[in-house]
Structure 1
Amino acid sequence: MDAIDRRLLTVLETDGRASFAQIAEAAGLSKTPCWNRVQALEEKGVIMGYRAEIDRASVGLPLLAFIDVAIDLGRHEAFEAAVAEVGAVLECHTTAGPFDYVLRVAVRDVGALDDLLRAQLSRLPGVKNFATRICLKTVFQARPLMANAGS
């Protein structure tokens, strides 16, 4: 990846709806070479997709929580397959330390969070225990990667 690819990624990360003319201008290219480079970055998996950021509260899911989950040894594969099917789970990451996973979930309220914990997450394969933290305020999220990616 060279400096031009990095400029392309910076523009796309800031505005995924930018036109190829805008992207090309920022990268110092004409439209066709710009399009070819973006296609190559997509094919390599550097660009994983494009999406709209949606305000959780606007769609009835204002409560954000982080759930640390400890799993029985040998049950990780089954847990990962099962947790991927739980719609309220936005992200699932393996971690080092006393817990094996951290989940980021969005729900409508504390009652829905309680239902999620008791009726769904506690019953997933291998779950030993979990600890939940409710987010009171998001200071920032989805910080651009390219600003910190170096050259």
Structure 2
Amino acid sequence: MEHVTIDATDRRIIHALQVDGRGSFSRIAAVLGLGERTVARRYQRLRSQLALRVVGISDARHLGHLDWFVRMRATPEVVESVGAALAGRHDTSWIASLAPGTELTCIVQAGLAGTDGPGTVLDQLGRRKNIASLTAQCLLAPVAGVGGWAGRLDALTPQEQAELAPKSAAFNEPDARFAPTPQDRRLLRLLAEDARTSIAALAHQTDTPESTVRRRVSEFIEGGLLLFEVEIDPRLYGRTVEAICWLDVEPAQLAAVGKQLATHGEVAFAATTTGPTNLLAILELTGATALHDYLTNRLSTLPGIRHAETALTAHRTKRAGPLLARPRAS
């Protein structure tokens, strides 16, 4: 990462991939007015340097699950070991330690109440005696960052975005349920590792006919189960400070505050939650001064915010997709 840089053309390609994670290089090139080889070469450069990855995310609501934002306090040694253990699980994402290293946060996908038995990650964390405190807030509904972080979605015109949007996209019911088969689950895990894996490769790795894989991927996308996220280090956009913000908002102003957060380029993600605070936001900023300015000049002007707590992330262990094993040096 220390030698990776991106320019305006890279940003346009990255934005295009967020619009359609499986869009072909030829289609992206045609809309952006670039050569197909240029698009492919720039994507492969960032991908090979582990700076960019398109991942497929399974929407918890369509699986009958819930997303929980977990926050725990412990000694730095426990925080490090628990974070490493959680990072290897398929049901965790967005794992980060908070400065000065005595707290850990992550998102856990778990079954509904009454269906999550012993052995699940929430149950295991609750039984650990070396964790000083543990809280879990249910993420009720996302209000910002849906379809990507606004801070890096300004490289394309509205017309270009409309041309790139998947033609097969259809209205989907938020509460529609999927009952994935074992093959479906294997397919979803492969797409979580790399959403741009070809149909032929997916068919080979799941031992499923290509026609079936193509149909199921389309059904996942059109039904709203499969979402795409472009993973890229915010530092490539000059955002060197990441903060988590817990907001206590008057219920009557919750919707209005959420709509405003969705327009803020500093907000990578925000959702309403259960718990003592009812709105959670993850911020990406250019520095500590930018965080000060955001809190005092933008956040403070929103109506109904009674209290705000912020914490800086010290280290981001995992983002949206699963960790990939790095090849061993020969």
Q: For residues 53-78 of structure 1, what are the alpha-carbon distances to aligned partners after superposition, in whole Å with 9 as ceiling and x for unaligned? A: 11111220011000111112311111
State the alpha-carbon separation in 1 of the partners of residues 304 and 184 from structure 2.
43
Q: For residues 25-73 of structure 1, what are the alpha-carbon distances to aligned partners after superposition, in whole Å with 9 as ceiling and x for unaligned? A: 111112121101110111111102x342111112200110001111123
State the alpha-carbon separation in 2 of the partners of residues 33 and 27 from structure 1.
11
User: 175, 188, 192: which is aligned to 1:9?
Assistant: 188
1:139 aligns to what SS in structure 2?
strand
Q: How does 1:119-130 map to 2 (within 5 A)?
A: 119-130=297-308
- 2:238 pairs with 1:32: no
2:296 alignment partner in structure 1: 118
TM-score w.r.t. the length of structure 1 is: 0.88
State the alpha-carbon separation in 2 of the partners of residues 14 and 108 from structure 1.
29
C-alpha change, 1:119 and 1:55, in structure 2 (3 Å) is same
C-alpha change, 1:36 and 1:19, in structure 2 (3 Å) is same
State the alpha-carbon separation in 2 of the partners of residues 30 and 97 from structure 1.
46
State the alpha-carbon separation in 2 of the partners of residues 95 and 132 from structure 1.
16
2:261 alignment partner in structure 1: 83
C-alpha change, 1:73 and 1:51, in structure 2 (3 Å) is closer
1:71 alignment partner in structure 2: 249
Structure with more of its chain in strand, by fraction? 2
Q: CA RMSD in A?
A: 1.4
- What 5-or-longer segments of structure 1 have no aligned partner? 145-151
Equivalent AA in structure 1 for residue 201 of structure 2: Q
Contact 1:82/1:125 (<8 A) preserved: no
State the alpha-carbon separation in 1 of the partners of residues 284 and 318 from structure 2.
16
Number of positions where the alignment pairs a residue of Structure 1 with one of Structure 2: 143
- What 5-or-longer segments of structure 2 have no aligned partner? 1-179, 323-330
1:58 alignment partner in structure 2: 236
2:277 alignment partner in structure 1: 99
State the alpha-carbon separation in 1 of the partners of residues 299 and 253 from structure 2.
14
Equivalent AA in structure 1 for residue 282 of structure 2: R
